[in-house]
Amino acid sequence: MTRQIVLDTETTGLSAEQGDRIIELGCVELVQRRFTGNDLHLYLNPERASHEDAIRIHGITNEFLRDKPRFAERADEILRYLQGAELIIHNASFDMGFLEMEFSRLGLPALSGQVVGVVDTLTMARELFPGKRNSLDALCDRLGVDNSGRTLHGALLDAQLLADVYIQMTRGQESLLVAEDKQAAVGVVGLSVDADLSSFELLVLGANAHELAAHEATIAEIDQSSGGRAVWRLAPEAPKAVP
């Protein structure tokens, strides 16, 4: 059973090649498209100042990050968490580029070789909604995902929103998972849904005298309150079947 990790980062700027660094990592774990609660959220000291434009986007100041751990201090934890998972990322080349650069600086193996794959939800959205805006906010609006709490970019919040967006975009997979669950349940208990019920007779219980009297009293009360206009009193008696 493949774990899926919905991942987002915030950074000091736009270019990992020119020395920009990760300052926030947010990860949300899904197993069989269900939230497990086993999430990972880290703020990281980038050892450099963030660009003013970046701060306007995510609101994370240089002062706030000064006492946070460096990526090197949490790299093993991050790698263990992501190892063997399928990553789901919006505009994956951006976040993967930063992560690969961080691991490369430490002489660690490439992340792409430690995970089973990477799903780019931006590419997926462009295929599903060609010619439309496919930012995270636009997808939330289109797919009915509540993003009212998103005033600034934040890695964990964005990962949580993206997880909901991904589930909505791939909702056709739910039927497959339900079918698999049913098959698994039958295998566990050893039951078959096929059964011959032709030999069984259904027991029909008629109303007793007390119940019939109570029913008749209720009908009479309704008839009286309606001024004698109850349709079941006015309807002609149905013809009896001829044997």
Q: Among this protein's residues, is 51 annotated catalytic? A: no
- Report CA torsion sign: 103, 104, 106, 108: positive
* Phi and psi, residue 118, nearest 5°: -130, 125
Q: What is the DSSP letter of 44?
A: -
Report the helix count and the strand count for the chain, using DSSP H and E: 10, 6
Considering the candidates 58, 90, 153, 215, report the single residue annotated as catalytic: 153
Cβ neighbours of residue 17 under 8 Å, at least 6 residues apart? 97, 101
Question: In which element (H, E) is residue 236 found?
Answer: none
Give the CA diameter of the chain. Answer: 97
Burial bucket for residue 17 (CB in 10 Å: 0-12, 13-18, 19+): exposed
CB 162 within 8 A of CB 8: yes
- For residues 218 and 216, give the distance between their C-alpha atoms in angstroms, rounded to a whole number: 5
* Phi and psi, residue 145, nearest 5°: -95, 125
DSSP string of 70-103, one letter each residue: BHHHHHHHHHHHHTTPEEEETTHHHHHHHHHHHH
Instruction: Give the distance, in angstroms, between the CA of residue 119 and the centroid of all CA atoms in the same chain.
Output: 15
Active site residues: 153
